[in-house]
Structure 1
């Protein structure tokens, strides 16, 4: 049976002088009940805290894509703020409904890694993050960040090429395994927890001569590579509180960076892991191609498809990907 999105009543709000976006008195809180660090009790506490400053409407996501629809409707209806409470996957969906608008997005961490939150310098602890959000409401402090887009879908963290997570040989089965009876995503998402495992698998395939060669074109450079990550965030995952800094020169207000392996010897897996956790010297490794501040990246293969993931979600195998930068595409409450 087709699912209907609960309508959001239109709001009439006045612009805030000198700021260029609506006042934040009317807000929508979008929550993912399946996110790893969320619970009904935590949500109730957050709703109570935010309701002291906002006229708040709360929407629980019910299926993949639901958060995008709700966020898009909130922007069209003139809400002054959209709050996303969940992990990086939930945040990706919410952002996809808001890119290009002046409506600010506020982030409350409810996932395992909370990569976007940490890259923005926001607290990964939900109590501290709620306090920071309330301070941001009082001061109206926002920041515009750039995002990437490919195939009509935006990504905040990364677009990965050739890094195949476990079980991704069957996209539909992999997607179904991450959803509960209500259709909500569950469990860990790639690349955070599985990044090193995917790198190891890529290295094994490269050693056996089974790796797909991806032709990468960007910034006047054209090379064949085994795997690639496209991002404008420096830290793409975390081991505990330790950041995994794969793209050390990437900045949220600049262009896209590319980290690619020309070939992927097994010996590079521990070296890459150590460098990403320490000094970032891997960008100068002989087999590494690193490009900075790009507006567009194109990847193709000679008829053999390669795996693609966006912000941790395996999408599908493709023979061509073109990623473009949307500069200053998203307003974020900080």
Structure 2
């Protein structure tokens, strides 16, 4: 099997020595070409080229969720197809939501062993993905989440801190979320975002909207964050929103998304966050988020600036993944 390994040399949790060990292990079973990313968007360009070349059977992303997202967008530049190379992931970031949602070990060495075992035994699955569309801008595929409003604002703050030299840690995310909560007082009371779903009344006044393609949405260390517990790679998209963020209500919602959602007896479906200011929808194929003013927008933890209108669609069986 011919494979391309796309390596982010700045991945948070892998050293040069570790990457050398992983490459050696992969080369023991695969005809492996290795390419290191040199600029933002390079992983997308490398995967796009692999998607049109003859003979590339597998593209392996070694890095964090941002690297994985770029590879996915490169593979799907011309849309889903059975002829596309398979995708595999070796986690190298600080959180690795997509890899962990697939059931892969969070350790890159263990994940490489699991990948080689999956290749040997032909284990793969077709997964659904989300696609975000803004008029005048390129479509953006996402593997596990997209968001408009408060959560994307937090992501933007974290990226600013990282550009100034701070390491991406869970403590950094929590601190920036608290700072953002304090500074966004006006928007916490009445949000500018409307949710539009065909055949249903629009939902106005959202402070934030989190679109999930799987569950968990992210992790705080090893603790899963679950705003939409029914979200799955096998269904369309889930939407979670909040219309008002009071101190008590927000603390209650945060507690709900951090606690276990599976009933003790296993007889009922998981229960997601609920309350007066909570909005949630499961397995929605098409919908649009419209903001009365430009609001922060993120995809798979990558801040993409401000948007006023974003349409979403769920695409089932969009890509095949080696697991």
Task: Please report how far the alpha carbon of residue 109 of structure 1 lies from its aligned counterpart in structure 2 after TM superposition.
Answer: 0.6
The equivalent of 2:136 in structure 1 is none
Residues 1:63 and 2:39 are matched in the alignment: yes
- Once residues 330 and 198 of structure 1 are traced to their aligned partners in structure 2, the CA distance between those partners, rounded to angstroms, is 33
Q: Which residue of the other structure, out of 173, 189, 213, is the alignment partner of 1:194?
A: 173
The equivalent of 1:94 in structure 2 is 71
The equivalent of 2:284 in structure 1 is 294
- Once residues 35 and 296 of structure 1 are traced to their aligned partners in structure 2, the CA distance between those partners, rounded to angstroms, is 34
TM-score normalised by the chain length of structure 2? 0.85
Any unmatched runs of 5+ in structure 2?
134-138, 262-270
**Aligned residue-pair number:** 300
The equivalent of 1:318 in structure 2 is 307
* Contact residue 211 and residue 237 of structure 2 kept, 8 A: yes
1:109-124 to structure 2, matched below 5 A, reads 109-124=91-106
Q: Which residue of the other structure, out of 155, 159, 167, is the alignment partner of 2:142?
A: 155
SS at match of 1:47: helix
Residues 1:242 and 2:223 are matched in the alignment: yes
Q: Which residue of the other structure, out of 172, 196, 205, is the alignment partner of 2:184?
A: 205
Residues 1:218 and 2:207 are matched in the alignment: no
**Once structures 1 and 2 are overlaid, which stretch shifts more, 237-246 or 79-88?**
237-246
SS at match of 1:161: strand
SS at match of 2:306: strand
1:258-297 to structure 2, matched below 5 A, reads 258-280=239-261, 282-297=272-287
* RMSD, aligned α-carbons: 2.6
The equivalent of 1:136 in structure 2 is 118
Task: Please report how far the alpha carbon of residue 74 of structure 1 lies from its aligned counterpart in structure 2 after TM superposition.
Answer: 0.9
Q: Are residues 209 and 137 of structure 1, via their aligned partners in 2, closer, same or farther at CA, if it must alter by over 3 Å?
A: closer
Q: Are residues 200 and 216 of structure 1, via their aligned partners in 2, closer, same or farther at CA, if it must alter by over 3 Å?
A: farther
SS at match of 1:59: strand
Task: Please report how far the alpha carbon of residue 179 of structure 1 lies from its aligned counterpart in structure 2 after TM superposition.
Answer: 8.7
Give deviations 1:152-204, integer Å, cap 9, x for gaps.
Answer: 111112111102435948x9xx5696399xxxxx8428x99626843773586
**Once structures 1 and 2 are overlaid, which stretch shifts more, 92-101 or 107-116?**
92-101
The equivalent of 1:81 in structure 2 is 58
- Once residues 40 and 171 of structure 2 are traced to their aligned partners in structure 1, the CA distance between those partners, rounded to angstroms, is 20
Any unmatched runs of 5+ in structure 1?
1-24, 181-185
